[in-house]
Amino acid sequence: MSILLGLLSLIASIAIPILIMVFTNYELISLGIFFVIPAGAIAIGYVCGFGLFKGLILSSKRITAKHFVIVMLMALISFTSIKYITYSLTCINTETGEIEYSMDGDHVSNYEVPGYGSMTFLNYSKLMIESTPISFSYKSRSMGEVDNPTVSWVFAIINFIGVFIGAVAAGIGFKDKHQYCESCNNYKKSKKIFKILKTDGQSFFEELEMLTNDVSDSTSLKQIVEKYGKVKLGNAFFEGTLIYCNNCRKSTLSVKLFEVSSTNKIHENDEFEYNVNLNFNIAREYIKEDVA
């Protein structure tokens, strides 16, 4: 499963930028934001790594360091293939002298450039790095020619690294989102079960504590949650996620705090952390459909 999905996303990471280039003449891989963030390369790396990690999750295989090495190799293959296929399709329009991408034009290898020699893949890549205008999405301005070859090489290296960053980020993202149950060799499941206003937090956590300490066995978690009103937009809130393993019947309640900034954007407050082991019988009312 992970091999199949890994190959599919490797192919996608090569095909998508090539198709974009053929149809729009735009090189996704050199898209940068704020001059230094290689957004295009990171996106390509992310797509490249996505399938492998998704496959590992789906087949309940643990993500290990080995997989990060594999995904870096895949990113290298993806990067090289994109560059090589781009080169293979690079032709010169005989009337305008400009570059166009086509299967049957006058291929760039028929040309020589003073100082670079005949346009082999390596010579052409060097020329492209040292003379391509780098486009920036920031305010959709183009910076025009970058004349300084050193600066151009720095950009090229940042771009190259971007592909790896994207691929590794895909793995870290999946690893963070899916907890692994060591005793069952399986991924735990998770389910968001409530949102509660921050202002209701204190009384909610008091009741929750009573429940988890088994002081009161007459109420259920659901009853406590339902006591509090719905969270309206624009208010800070707590979000509770149940993380559980059906097999060994262990469950944890993880609560996160989301605050609203002055510009009305919701963001997680990283300083707040609340995790409590929950008796599986309490958790069960939320996961009935999964447990026989």
Q: What's the closest the beta carbon of residue 124 comes to Zn ion, in angstroms?
A: 54
Q: What's the closest the beta carbon of residue 202 comes to Zn ion, in angstroms?
A: 33
| Residue number with CB closer to Zn ion (211 or 245) | 245
Interface pattern 173-202 for Zn ion (x via CB under 5 A): --------x--x------------------
Beta strands 250-260 and 237-245 are antiparallel
Q: Which positions ≥6 away from 151 have C-beta within 8 Å? A: none
Q: What angle do CA 25, 86, 17 make, to 5 degrees?
A: 60
Residue type, 183: S
Helix (H) or strand (E) holding 76: helix 65-89
Asked if residue 269 lies in contact with residue 203, where contact means CB atoms within 8 angstroms, the answer is no
SS3 of 232, please?
A: coil
CA atoms of 128 and 111, how far apart (whole Å): 14
Q: What's the closest the beta carbon of residue 228 comes to Zn ion, in angstroms?
A: 31
Give φ, ψ of 220 to 5 degrees. -110, 165
| Residue number with CB closer to Zn ion (22 or 184) | 184
| Residue number with CB closer to Zn ion (126 or 188) | 188
Q: What's the closest the beta carbon of residue 177 comes to Zn ion, in angstroms?
A: 17
Number of C-alpha atoms within 13 angstroms, CB side, residue 279? 13
Interface pattern 230-269 for Zn ion (x via CB under 5 A): ---------------x-xx---------------------
| Residue number with CB closer to Zn ion (88 or 186) | 186
Q: What's the closest the beta carbon of residue 243 comes to Zn ion, in angstroms?
A: 11
| Residue number with CB closer to Zn ion (37 or 248) | 248
Binding site for Zn ion (CB under 5 A): 181, 184, 245, 247-248
